[in-house]
Amino acid sequence: MKYFLLFIFSLLASTITFAQIDSTSTMTVMVDGKEYKTHPQRIRIGTYGYITGNAINPDKCLRIWLGTYDGSEVKESGTYLIVDAYNPDTDANIEKAYATGKYKGIAAIKYVEETKSPRMEYHVGMSENRGETIEVNMGADGVTEFTFNCSLAGTMWKEKTSTTAFGGLSRLTDKLENKAVTGATGFEQDIDPEGNGYKKQKELDTIVLSEGKVRMKFKK
């Protein structure tokens, strides 16, 4: 499941660019004390899925993945343990989440924010094993609410000089087109810096997410 989770965290929206923004769903969260508000989308790949809330100028993306014991998508209300987004399904995480009987499953969170346009530099945050949780309430009317507070391990990313030089005008054009897709559909389009011609910087910090709340109707 670990490799699948990393895959969906880096999934491009190229296969779903014709979807429309769901204006009935809401996502609000304080990111380092500043409100981030958007309309989240639900992405499903078979029995797996995650929630993504996106914006442009500056580009932002908050992804929340929740899974049950078998790795499939969340099915019931309860508390989900937030774990290391890079290594979510380790034996230690699974034992901690399930041995106590306190949790319905595990969750992982990733936050990406453009800090220099057009997508030249990014600030990325990944959840860790801090004992934090997401509360899930699945209503009888099909509306599901997620509430959370957590801290993410932050890293800075800059586009490599060689990437900028060799990419030239075509790379710039691609960035602008990707921004347009994100803005029109609400799905992240090629927003991740990791493995995409960027270099992680030495600087580390913490991104604090507080008063997080997602409200959306899950359609079968």
Report yes or no: 37 and 27 within 8 Å, Cβ to Cβ: yes
Amino acid (one-letter) located at 37: K
Report yes or no: 122 and 39 within 8 Å, Cβ to Cβ: no
Q: What is the DSSP letter of 176?
A: H
Residues 6 or more apart whose CB falls under 8 angstroms from that of 173 comprise: none
How confident is residue 209, by pLDDT bands cut at 50, 70 and 90? very high
Nearest to 106, CA basis, from 90, 117, 118: 90
What was the pLDDT predicted at 21? 62
Average pLDDT value for residue range 25-36: 97
Residues 6 or more apart whose CB falls under 8 angstroms from that of 112 comprise: 59, 60, 61, 122, 123, 124, 125, 188, 191, 192, 193
What was the pLDDT predicted at 90? 79
Residues 6 or more apart whose CB falls under 8 angstroms from that of 195 comprise: 10
Percent residues over pLDDT 90 in the chain: 52
Q: Where are the domains of the chain?
A: 2-217
Please calculate the CA angle 76-82-83 and round it to the nearest 5 degrees.
125
Instruction: Report the chain's mean pLDDT, rounded to a whole number.
Output: 85
114-125 pLDDT, tens digit per residue, is: 999 999 999 999
Report yes or no: 144 and 108 within 8 Å, Cβ to Cβ: no
3-state helix, strand, coil in the chain (%, to 5): 20, 45, 35
Average pLDDT value for residue range 192-208: 94
Residue 93 has pLDDT above 90, yes or no: no
- The pTM (predicted TM-score) of the whole model is 0.87
Residue 210 has pLDDT above 80, yes or no: yes
Question: In terms of DSSP bridges, do strands 48-55 and 198-217 run parallel, antiparallel, or are they unpaired?
Answer: unpaired
Cβ neighbours of 195 (radius 10 Å): 7
What was the pLDDT predicted at 87? 85
